């Protein structure tokens, strides 16, 4: 039944469009002080001394914290979400430009900022390690002498090497390429921030913080501060976008906690844009070598990849503990390959930590880009149309559930149908004709395809955890006597519309209106435990928990309805939103009437508790595997290197759509992400370690001028294991679209003999590619 599903306008917009959202910087607590962080100007240096005397003498300054002060509280280092440790305030060394060195607390924000300049830090500069490719060279600067492995974080592999090598040896055609997925940044409109309020008498800490995962945060704060977890309340208010940036715990959050404990007053810290771009989690930074093997008639036989992953100065990659390279080993994508093997080495460099988050599905972004670029190169090598090559190798519907050579089990899919629809919508044959005509006139038009499979909704508890916490999520559903419901969930929305779609999920099960369901989230005191929002897991995991809780409510209602109707519960069936007597459907009650009766003096059978409230914890049996077919049409000016995205056709399949309007909004946003990543974004450094991308003048965001109105299509292949057949959609378009854009630009440049060009395809880089010169992800080099 899908009664409550559909394009319902978002409930939360009533406050957002009136400017009545409550974001971190809207919140003021009585007596609140303001913090500011002193950050390192150098990428790599020993700290000789930190002198805060002058700052403390500033009339508005209440306290100054250094790493040594935190060390006294046992809080100088914090575990990262990937189980490394990261300095909260540096004591021994600074390891990236922008690293936190001291925290000033003052009566107002401006004074706190001013006082930063009064702190004197004596640094002894060290040579920085900025190029991951040299990290393992003998004599390379060592970023982490606190760890035994030098700059090597991990070596990890997946797949069957021998089988893969054999398939390559037997292949007619092998194509390979080095490609760089540049360091990018999620850049949410709202930066990160926190307000800590420690109440010493009760020993209670309230932390209001920009967090996509309030419960996971709370557990970490308990571990770091030593405060008992039940005395910590984490509140995540309205978030102005997260895109992954609000998953990790940042040093600033610990600084406000320590500062509130030290001063006995609430302390707020909100970072500015430069701090956000320089020091919060980045994404990608993958140096990849990929190879694809095929028969002469275009049957893909095998794939292999070797990756060097730059994780910055601390390993803070937000992803399940068992997978140091995230889900990169899904890199066989949507094709039937017989064998695959990948090796990933992670290294430290003197850059800000992070390494996954930005609508990434745990590194599937990089994997999709790799396989989709290789597929296009193969089609060029074979002289076979890229659509035809893909159609020939796509998994067939009858192959699902399908186990990939690296061990993923895809739940469901009809890939050829999605690709056919995209080709039809694009008018593919006509586009190719137009391209040929234009080429004859010296015009450079590109048509780029990509087909992606994602894995979202982590994860089965046996396989997926973060710091030992299994990735399961709870839902509590209360039904009041009047039949109005309140759903409390562990995930937190950052703009995805959970207050609407989660209400729809419950309303649909209970036969009530979504207006009658309020969604509570973002407050650990009011919601059940769960690991939070990322990897597009809210709908697959928390949404499933909500549905299970709602079906439990319905089951309880059935017993009450039976008492009301004086029939056996077995004689009732759920039909059109009511429990009705089988064979006499006019006789029945809906949830509102049953809820009232449940709270009344109606006599219930022995053992029946009354009240309809129910809860659930959902352990997903598998990920859900959404997929899509994208086509990007570009026009490239060979004189200037400028790329114009003329059309973007996107067919997405995320199973059953709860709210198609929200789903389309998610796809729109992801396509903008992908266009930005492909054409204009890269966080870059000069060789001395200066971050050159600390503002929106340097780190470019795509606007409506660069993004055409996309043409969206859908197919619906329900997930067989999700209670309502839904798969996640939040990251699909970010994951799938960069390859389509790059494939399109490289296709446009084919007459110049260009076979590959690394992102970002800025005018300068496109021009360089045309000239046959190496393109640079390092925009600093002009």
Instruction: Give the total residue count for the chain.
Output: 782
Contact 306, 342 (CB under 8 A): yes
Contact 528, 496 (CB under 8 A): no
Least separation in angstroms between CB 160 and ligand CUM:
28
| Nearest 10 degrees: Cα torsion 755, 682, 688, 38 | -170
Contact 502, 543 (CB under 8 A): yes
Residue choice 98, 182, 214, 244 for contact with ligand MCN (CB under 6 A): 244
Spatial neighbors of 142 by CB under 8 A, at least 6 apart, are: 150, 151
- Exposed, middle or buried by CB within 10 Å (0-12, 13-18, 19+), for 18? exposed
Q: Which range binds ligand MCN by CB under 6 A, 131-139, 278-286, 292-300, 725-733?
A: 725-733
- Exposed, middle or buried by CB within 10 Å (0-12, 13-18, 19+), for 682? buried
Q: Does 459 bind ligand MCN (CB under 6 A)?
A: no
Pairing of strands 33-39, 267-270: parallel
Nearest to 450 by CA among 632, 296, 290, 318: 632
Residue 335, binding choice from ligand MCN, ligand CUM, none, Cβ under 5 to 8 Å by partner class: none
* 475 DSSP β-pair partners: 489, 616
- Smaller CB distance to ligand MCN: residue 241 or 481? 241
Binding to ligand MCN (CB under 6 A) within 340-369 occurs at: 359
Least separation in angstroms between CB 327 and ligand CUM:
10
Q: Does 495 bind ligand MCN (CB under 6 A)?
A: yes
CA-to-CA distance for 632 and 754, rounded, in angstroms?
Answer: 18
Q: Nearest residue by C-beta to ligand CUM? A: 244
* Element at 509 (helix H, strand E): helix 498-510
- Smaller CB distance to ligand CUM: residue 242 or 446? 242
- Exposed, middle or buried by CB within 10 Å (0-12, 13-18, 19+), for 53? exposed
Q: Does 452 bind ligand CUM (CB under 6 A)?
A: no
CA-to-CA distance for 587 and 580, rounded, in angstroms?
Answer: 6
Residue choice 251, 448, 455, 728 for contact with ligand MCN (CB under 6 A): 728
Q: Which range binds ligand MCN by CB under 6 A, 76-84, 493-501, 506-514, 745-753?
A: 493-501
- Smaller CB distance to ligand CUM: residue 494 or 715? 494
Helix, strand or coil, per DSSP, at residue 281: coil
Least separation in angstroms between CB 247 and ligand CUM:
5
Least separation in angstroms between CB 104 and ligand MCN:
30
Least separation in angstroms between CB 54 and ligand CUM:
41
Q: Does 524 bind ligand MCN (CB under 6 A)?
A: no
Residue choice 280, 538, 681, 717 for contact with ligand MCN (CB under 6 A): 538
Total residues at interface with ligand MCN (CB under 6 A): 35
Contact 649, 578 (CB under 8 A): no
Least separation in angstroms between CB 497 and ligand MCN:
4
CA-to-CA distance for 440 and 437, rounded, in angstroms?
Answer: 5
* 726 DSSP β-pair partners: 655
- Smaller CB distance to ligand MCN: residue 653 or 778? 653
- Smaller CB distance to ligand CUM: residue 267 or 356? 356
Total residues at interface with ligand CUM (CB under 6 A): 13
φ/ψ (deg, to 5) at 337: -105, 150
Contact 361, 727 (CB under 8 A): no
Binding to ligand MCN (CB under 6 A) within 181-210 occurs at: 188
Q: Which range binds ligand MCN by CB under 6 A, 153-161, 239-247, 374-382, 391-399?
A: 239-247
Residue 655, binding choice from ligand MCN, ligand CUM, none, Cβ under 5 to 8 Å by partner class: ligand MCN
CA distances from 91 to 40, 159, 623 (A): 12, 42, 41
Residue choice 96, 181, 243, 402 for contact with ligand MCN (CB under 6 A): 243
Q: What is the number of H-type helices and E-type strands within the chain?
A: 18, 32
Q: Which range binds ligand CUM by CB under 6 A, 357-365, 412-420, 499-507, 756-764?
A: 357-365
Q: Does 498 bind ligand MCN (CB under 6 A)?
A: yes
Residue choice 325, 357, 382, 560 for contact with ligand CUM (CB under 6 A): 357
Residue 356, binding choice from ligand MCN, ligand CUM, none, Cβ under 5 to 8 Å by partner class: ligand CUM
Q: Which range binds ligand MCN by CB under 6 A, 284-292, 530-538, 698-706, 756-764?
A: 530-538
Q: Does 255 bind ligand CUM (CB under 6 A)?
A: no
CA-to-CA distance for 395 and 377, rounded, in angstroms?
Answer: 20
Binding to ligand MCN (CB under 6 A) within 653-692 occurs at: 654-659, 662-663, 666, 669
Q: Does 491 bind ligand CUM (CB under 6 A)?
A: no
Binding to ligand CUM (CB under 6 A) within 529-548 occurs at: 534-535
Spatial neighbors of 753 by CB under 8 A, at least 6 apart, are: 772
Q: Does 358 bind ligand CUM (CB under 6 A)?
A: yes
Q: Does 280 bind ligand CUM (CB under 6 A)?
A: no
Q: Does 244 bind ligand CUM (CB under 6 A)?
A: yes
Contact 475, 616 (CB under 8 A): yes
Q: Which range binds ligand CUM by CB under 6 A, 352-360, 373-381, 506-514, 705-713?
A: 352-360
Residues 471-492, buried b or exposed e (16+ Cβ, 10 A)? bbbbbbbbbbeebbbbbbbbbb
Q: Does 536 bind ligand MCN (CB under 6 A)?
A: yes
CA-to-CA distance for 552 and 563, rounded, in angstroms?
Answer: 17
Query: Between vectors from CA 428 to CA 426 and to CA 430, what angle results, nearest 5°?
Result: 110
Helix, strand or coil, per DSSP, at residue 356: coil
Where on the chain is the footprint of ligand MCN (CB under 6 A)? Answer: 188, 241-244, 359, 494-498, 501, 533-539, 654-659, 662-663, 666, 669, 726-731
Binding site for ligand CUM (CB under 6 A): 212, 242-244, 247, 356-360, 534-535, 731
């Amino acid at each position: 039944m899908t009664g409550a599903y559909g394009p319902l306008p978002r409930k939360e917009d009533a406050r957002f469009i009136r400017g009545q959202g409550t974001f971190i910087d809207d919140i003021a607590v009585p007596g609140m002080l303001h913090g500011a962080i002193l950050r390192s100007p150098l990428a790599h240096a020993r700290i000789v001394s930190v002198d805060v005397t002058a700052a403390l003498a500033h009339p508005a300054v209440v306290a100054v914290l250094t790493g040594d002060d935190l060390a006294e509280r046992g809080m100088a280092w914090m575990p990262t979400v990937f189980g490394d440790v990261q300095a909260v305030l540096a004591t021994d060394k600074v390891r990236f430009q922008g690293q936190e060195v001291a925290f000033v607390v003052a009566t107002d924000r401006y004074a706190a900022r001013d006082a930063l300049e009064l702190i004197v830090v004596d640094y002894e500069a060290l040579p920085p390690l900025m190029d991951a490719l040299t990290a393992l060279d003998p004599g390379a600067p060592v970023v982490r002498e606190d760890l035994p492995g030098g700059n090597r974080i991990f070596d990890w592999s997946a797949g069957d090497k021998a089988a893969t090598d054999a398939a390559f040896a037997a292949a007619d055609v092998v194509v390979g390429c080095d490609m760089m997925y540049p360091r990018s940044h999620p850049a949410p409109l709202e930066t990160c921030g926190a307000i800590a309020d420690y109440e010493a008498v009760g020993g209670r800490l309230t932390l209001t913080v920009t967090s996509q995962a309030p419960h996971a945060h709370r557990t970490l704060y308990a571990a770091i501060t030593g405060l008992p977890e039940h005395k910590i309340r984490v509140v995540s208010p309205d978030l102005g976008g997260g895109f992954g940036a609000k998953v990790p715990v940042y040093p600033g959050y610990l600084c406000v906690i320590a500062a509130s404990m030290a001063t006995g007053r609430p302390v707020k810290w909100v970072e500015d844009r430069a701090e956000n771009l320089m020091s919060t989690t980045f994404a990608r930074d993958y140096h990849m070598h990929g190879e694809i093997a095929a028969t002469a008639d275009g049957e893909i036989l095998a794939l292999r990849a070797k990756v060097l992953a730059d994780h910055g100065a601390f390993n803070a990659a937000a992803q399940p503990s068992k997978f140091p390279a995230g889900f990169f080993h899904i890199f066989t994508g949507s094709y039937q390959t017989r064998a695959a093997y990948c090796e990933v080495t992670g290294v430290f460099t003197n850059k800000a930590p992070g390494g996954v988050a930005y609508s990434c599905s745990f590194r599937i972004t990089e994997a999709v880009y790799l396989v989709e670029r290789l597929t296009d190169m193969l089609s060029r090598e074979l002289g076979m149309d890229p659509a035809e090559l893909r159609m020939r190798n796509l998994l067939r519907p009858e192959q699902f559930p399908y186990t990939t050579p690296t061990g993923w089990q895809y739940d469901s899919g009809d890939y050829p149908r999605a690709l056919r629809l995209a080709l039809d919508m694009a008018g593919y044959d006509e586009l190719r004709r137009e391209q040929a005509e234009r080429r004859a006139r010296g015009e450079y038009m590109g048509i780029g395809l990509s087909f992606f499979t994602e894995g979202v909704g982590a994860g089965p508890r046996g396989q997926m955890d973060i710091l030992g916490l299994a990735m399961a999520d709870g839902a509590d559903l209360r039904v009041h006597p009047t039949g109005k419901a309140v759903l409390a969930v562990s995930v937190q929305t950052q703009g995805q519309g959970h207050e609407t779609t989660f209400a729809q999920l419950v309303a649909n099960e209970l036969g009530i209106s979504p207006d009658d369901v309020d969604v509570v989230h973002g407050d650990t005191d009011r919601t059940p435990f769960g690991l939070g929002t990322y990897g597009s897991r809210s709908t697959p995991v928390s949404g499933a928990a909500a549905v299970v809780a709602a079906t439990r409510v319905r089951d309880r209602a059935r017993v009450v309805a039976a008492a009301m109707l004086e029939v056996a519960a077995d004689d009732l069936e759920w039909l059109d939103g009511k429990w009705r007597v089988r064979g006499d459907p006019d006789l029945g009650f809906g949830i509102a009437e049953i809820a009232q009766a449940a709270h009344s003096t109606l006599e219930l059978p022995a053992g029946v508790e009354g009240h309809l409230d129910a809860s659930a914890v959902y352990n997903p049996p598998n990920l859900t595997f959404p997929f899509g077919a994208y086509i990007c049409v570009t026009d490239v000016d060979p004189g200037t290197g400028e790329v114009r995205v003329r059309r973007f056709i996107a067919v997405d399949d995320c199973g059953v759509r709860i709210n198609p309007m929200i789903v389309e909004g998610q796809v729109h946003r992801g396509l903008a992400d992908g266009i930005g990543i492909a054409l204009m974004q890269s966080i870059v450094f000069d060789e001395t370690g200066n971050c050159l991308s600390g503002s929106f003048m340097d780190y470019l965001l795509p606007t409506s001028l660069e993004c055409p109105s996309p043409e969206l299509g859908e197919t619906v292949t329900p997930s067989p294991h999700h209670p309502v057949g839904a798969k996640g959609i939040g990251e699909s378009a970010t994951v799938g679209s960069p390859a389509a854009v790059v494939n399109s630009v490289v296709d446009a440049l084919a007459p110049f003999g260009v076979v590959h060009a690394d992102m970002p395809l800025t005018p300068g880089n496109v021009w360089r590619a045309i000239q046959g010169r190496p393109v640079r992800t390092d925009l600093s080099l002009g």
